[in-house]
A and B are shown apart, each in its own frame.
Chain A
Amino acid sequence: MAEEGKRSRVKVESILSVVSSNPTRPGKVHKLSLLDQSMGPHTIHIVFYYGSNPFSDGPMSSDLENFRVSLSDVLDEYPVVTGRLTRGPDGGGWQVKCNDAGVRVLQARVDATVDEWLRSADVDEERDLTVWEDMPLDPSFWSPFRIQVNNFKCGGLAIGLSCTHMHADITSATLLIKSWADYHSTQTLTYPPIFTLPTHTHPQNTTTPPPHSPTTNTTPPPTKMATVTMKFSGPAVEKCLSGARSQCPDATPFDVLVALLWSKIAHWQEPHTADDNKRSISICTDSRGNRGQKTKIPLGYFGNALSFSVLTVEADELSSGKLGQVCEYVHRHVVDRAGPGLVDGDGEDPVRVYGPQITCVSTEHLVDAEKNGEAIMYSAVFDNNNNNNKNNIKGEKPLHVSYSYGNVVGEGLIVVVPTAEVGPGRAVTVTLPEEQIDMLCKDQEILDLEGVMVISGGR
């Protein structure tokens, strides 16, 4: 996708480490759960885009110093984030030695304004806004969390967080940035982190995870993948929802959008191994919050609380155009989740995380929790109320938040994320083989929804 001779517009200027303000109790160790460890080599990358730099105004002389102050303070609450990975005492699972070694923070400059970037950059360029590093053989001196602060020409800012999936899932990583924003603004946390759960609610596996070591090579996918992000407005999604409500009264935007996309993609999908007439996708939901699940994992739990499961549906139903019916299957599947972990869909092949089928990631739980329906990631506002706020500028909400995954091998990935506007509007990031993306973008039904393309390379 990169044009010939196209140079990256992002230039990293400096790297440093930031530690917490107060020392951690010596000897503290955090054991990663089984689910954490089964996340293997995957990595998470989140970028928060802001229209203005909230750190340019503050008690210290440079904005680097200003964000170090609030970041150090909030890291007091997250000793796991500043620790380092070591092998457990029995040589088995990974654990985190909370030794205050710190997180890496990079400062970079982007040769574009935020709007230009959102319009013209593609996923490959967006990679430059976060740090993409694989875990080395000896991770004792390697920082699993890396934050990159990117300054745009217009004064906008993009905060890029990347971390290993073993340490956190997208909810925890999002809440880390949200806590940072909370601390910066009000010095209190809306969702204080919890690192251990009572044993009966602890994420369990029903299948043994494949042991992850850094030497496991992930073979690159044979086909070239492309990614687009489409922002569907509230009314557009509402239209779909009303269409599906006849058969699925409790449909959520995730259900209906997955159903819509799946019905398009089904034509090109690989048939199910056992039965040519079936198609499957892997659905990834979060077990936190109050989704009426049996296990109550609080939203502030820091770690992995995802559940992966496979949904298989007759191919005819997908291509018949009965959106409501497919939506009902998806919805039923999501609601029936037993709890966090890997669960077999049909009791056949063991489930893997993020593959090999298309994986659909839901973040609906990040919308329900807020009272006024605002998504949590869009409430990460860096206010300067309690600092020397000379210009009295109120902090801004993020313009856009993007999520990507590293080392994910599979047929594709669909991530459904709320948008800045309150309501059913969603931004859907679709990763599929290049031709399928092209066809998807030309599909009439999709075009009817009038989605705005961001970070899609100017499509």
Chain B
Amino acid sequence: MAPPPPPPEYSQSVKLKYVKLGYHYLINHFLLFLLLPITLSLTIEALRTTPQELQTLCNSIKLTLIHVISSLFLVIYISTYYIMSRPRPVYLVDHALFKPPASFRVSFAGFMEHARMAPFSEPRSVHFQMKILERSGLGEQTSLPPAIRYIPPSPNMNLAREEAELVIFTCMDSLIRKTGVEPKDVDILVLNCSLFSPTPSLTAMVVNKYGMRSNVKSFNLSGMGCSAGLISIDLAKDLLQHHPNSNAVVISTEILTPNSYMGKERAMLLPNCLFRMGGAAVLLSNRRSDRRRAKYRLAHVVRTHKGADDKSYRCVSQEEDSEGNVGIKLNIDLMAIAGEALKSNITTMGPLVLPASEQLLFALSFIGRKMINSKWKQYIPDFKQAFDHFCIHAGGRAVIDELQRSLRLTAEQVEASRMSLHRFGNTSSSSLWYELSYIESKGRMKRGDRVWQIAFGSGFKCNSAVWKCNRTVDPTAEDGGPWADCIDNYPVYIPEVVKL
């Protein structure tokens, strides 16, 4: 006689789903389930005692006035200490992004022609760049600064300064317009630009142009790679803990003019193909008055630095090739190192953001692997439960693919990253803000939503930030953001290989 047929897949998975749901609900609201019966029994007990019994209970405790007053003071003292030592909330009032003028556009055909005409180019390096561009996930509307569009590229300090002024001042003007902040009111100014660091610094340039106060706290971070945007946010957050009632302007950008690689070493040609112009300015505040109008509240920032490991340290480095051209060399094991750094980061992030149910499962499987059977698969917590939106640094198509795979994200969750890469290219530290703006322009950002921003950078660093949406963002009210004129064309289907 044939064995009974196994229950169909569908009903099995449905049963499992309900079990999972029930488990999560139970664990996440565990305290509630615990408290309910206790409170109930106490209430019933209180209702049963008569007022006389209560009176005798109070008398038996033998409280004097001193006791009462001192215990009152103790309570007040403890609660004040508790309130004062809580971290100040950091609000993101608004952000402004740089939209490059249409005349800065770079087409694939134009890029390839220039690559061919570059002074040190040879057919192999040109062919390599073509292959990279075909698979890069970039579109035909990314932008490069004028210095790089010259034949041959003519990066000089003047043009670099011009690019910096264009990007940074446009962002600042836009931020001032959107938030109404007065430059004289700015208390803290943090700017990060990895590869261009002139004297006087770019922050000095901003202070000069906008006439900021003489006691503004300015910090110029350079050399910190693509994850420097979140490092600046972290720095501003720490400063805002120290200074009550203050605001901070954080500017993230990458100035490309001085960094076009003019040689033929293939590992160093990648940044030429992927890096594009972009910039962002963000206003953070810890003032109570900004609580109503702020878009987001900063929940956590987690920074992971793997520089202690030699391989991670050397995987992205700026060096000279054999002909003396300076460029940024990307090592072949970049993706593996990025994966390791990500794992470290989410191990730290997990307990902060995951619901108790996921943490319990993770802990159980961890203990089980260590003590019972090391062949058990490590349970990877489902981060989709903790976050509503994901902003993954648009470092390149490979990075987004890898993260989508390892975090098991859906196509919609990485859509913001892919579309930002397509429309703006890899804008380095500001790419996270373009992605956030995409989500807002699509009308997907609702009050209470949690956003996870992940950035990777040289060093090797993996930094992430968690924001909680404070008020629903209305896409139509966006004051001409970078996506305003093209958001309806997105999402766009990006083929694996674009034939050039």
Contacts and interface: CB of A to CB of B under 8 A. Distances in A.
Contacts of A16: 146, 149-151
Contacts of B149: 16-17
Interface string A33-68: 000000000000000000000000000111011001
A20 B105 CA distance: 8
Contacts of B112: 141
Contacts, number: 70
A21 B103 contact: yes
B150 A101 contact: no
Contact of B107 (A19, A71, A104): A19
Contacts of B141: 22-23
B113 A17 contact: yes
B75 interface: no
B109 A72 contact: no
A141 B116 contact: yes
Contacts of A62: 162
A342 to B, nearest CB: 34
B110 A19 contact: yes
B109 A99 contact: yes
Contact of A17 (B110, B116, B140, B154): B110
Contacts of B101: 60, 69
A73 interface: yes
Contact of A100 (B110, B116, B165): B110
Nearest to B500: A99
A451 interface: no
B102 A17 contact: no
Interface string A321-332: 000000000000
A102 B110 contact: yes
A338 interface: no
A71 B154 CA distance: 22
B-side interface size class:
20 to 34
A304 B151 CA distance: 31
A199 interface: no
Nearest to B107: A100
B105, B108, B139, B165 — which one has the most chain A CB atoms within 10 A of its CB?
Answer: B105
A446 interface: no
B103 A15 contact: no
A17 B103 contact: no
A84 B107 CA distance: 13
Interface in B327-346: none
Interface size class of A (residues with CB under 8 A): 20 to 34
B107 A102 contact: yes
B106 interface: yes
Contact of B106 (A19, A21, A99): A19
Contact of B102 (A15, A21, A61, A84): A21
A364 B108 CA distance: 41
A273 interface: no
Contacts of A64: 146
Given A16-B146, A17-B149, A141-B116, A61 B107 contact: no
B166 interface: yes
B114 interface: yes
Interface string B113-134: 1101100000000000000000
A41 B154 CA distance: 33
Nearest to A106: B151
A412 to B, nearest CB: 37
A21 B107 CA distance: 10
A71 B105 CA distance: 12
B166 A19 contact: no
B500 to A, nearest CB: 9
B162 A71 contact: no
B151 A21 contact: no
Nearest to B153: A16
A382 B245 CA distance: 52
B103 A23 contact: no
A420 to B, nearest CB: 30
B109 to A, nearest CB: 4
A76 to B, nearest CB: 9
A18 interface: yes
Interface in B66-115: 101-103, 105-110, 112-114
A14 interface: yes
Interface string B154-175: 1000000010011000000000
A65 B166 CA distance: 12
Contacts of B109: 84, 99-102
B110 A65 contact: no
A71 B116 CA distance: 24
B150 A15 contact: yes
Nearest to B150: A16
Contacts of A17: 110, 113-114, 149, 151
A14 B102 contact: no
B105 A72 contact: yes
Contacts of A102: 107, 109-110, 113
Question: Could you say which of B110, B114, B141, B151 has the most chain A C-beta atoms within 10 Å of its C-beta?
Answer: B110
Contacts of B105: 19-21, 23, 72
Contacts of A65: 103, 146
B162 A61 contact: yes
Nearest to A22: B102
A46 to B, nearest CB: 23
A45 B107 CA distance: 27
A192 to B, nearest CB: 19
B217 to A, nearest CB: 30
A68 B150 CA distance: 13
A23 B107 contact: yes
Contacts of B102: 21-22, 69, 72-73
A183 to B, nearest CB: 12
A28 to B, nearest CB: 12
Nearest to B147: A16
A12 to B, nearest CB: 11
Contacts of B106: 19
A20 B102 CA distance: 8
B151 A68 contact: no
A16 B153 CA distance: 9
16 contacts: A14-B154, A16-B149, A19-B107, A19-B110, A21-B102, A61-B165, A65-B103, A69-B102, A99-B108, A100-B107, A100-B110, A100-B140, A101-B107, A102-B107, A102-B110, A141-B117
Given A14-B150, A102-B110, A141-B112, 10 more contacts: A16-B150, A23-B105, A61-B162, A65-B103, A68-B103, A69-B102, A99-B107, A99-B109, A101-B109, A104-B151
Interface of A: 14-23, 60-62, 64-65, 68-69, 71-73, 84, 99-102, 104, 141
The 3 lowest CB-CB distance pairs between A and B, nearest first, are: A21-B102, A100-B107, A101-B109
